Chains A and B, each alone.
Chain A
């Protein structure tokens, strides 16, 4: 079965510090990968998605970046965190289950607090 890992589970970082969140998927090949951010009591905001190694699409211009160095690894980074970067970060992957149909699955999330 497929599994998605995210770490760390929680993170407290000062403003201006760098960020690196990692997501890995097991049990599947060539998944679509996604990074979302969820502010408290809000919906999910799509940040980045990737359909393959080195292929990253950004949905929201900001001080975050994403990379996909391996097929099942997705990394979210920042050179200098802002207070507004605080939130719950979720990694997700999707699998093709039929012609044109995909199901999406989420990791456990990382709670980031920028102080």
Chain B
């Protein structure tokens, strides 16, 4: 199994600003996924980016993947107070059972 590590651990911004979170991993991957978790709730799948993709968009979310640096970033544009949550990345390598592992996440606080 692979492991994603998110950076920074905590991020505090004002509403309307952009939020950028990073994820690093150790070995080759098949795909990388980003999730959001509101306090006390389950994880919500946000976006999947495949190893042969470099950038992907979904609404206000923009995910990039740099396999040469073994890193990914999640950009939330024009943040809202409702974006306050923890964000996690998960990776898995090629072949075999899908057994993603998660880092500690980035705790994002968006102040209204």
Q: Which of B30-54 contact A (CB under 8 A)?
A: 30-31, 33, 35, 40-45, 48, 50
Task: For the complex, count residues of B whose C-beta is within 8 A of A.
Answer: 27
State whether the Cβ of B18 lies closer than 8 Å to any Cβ in chain A.
no
Contact of A108 among B42, B90, B100, B103 (CB under 8 A): B42
Q: Is the CB of B104 within 8 A of A43?
A: yes
State whether the Cβ of A61 lies closer than 8 Å to any Cβ in chain B.
no
State whether the Cβ of B101 lies closer than 8 Å to any Cβ in chain A.
yes
Cα distance A32–B98 in the bound complex, in angstroms: 8
State whether the Cβ of A100 lies closer than 8 Å to any Cβ in chain B.
yes
B residues adjacent to A (C-beta < 8 A): 1, 30-31, 33, 35, 40-45, 48, 50, 88, 90, 92, 94-95, 97-105
A residues adjacent to B (C-beta < 8 A): 6, 32, 34, 36, 41-44, 46, 49, 51, 59, 88, 90, 92, 94, 97, 100-109, 111
A-B contact pairs, 13 of them (CB 8 A): A32-B97, A44-B101, A44-B102, A49-B99, A59-B99, A100-B30, A101-B30, A102-B31, A103-B48, A104-B90, A106-B44, A107-B42, A109-B42
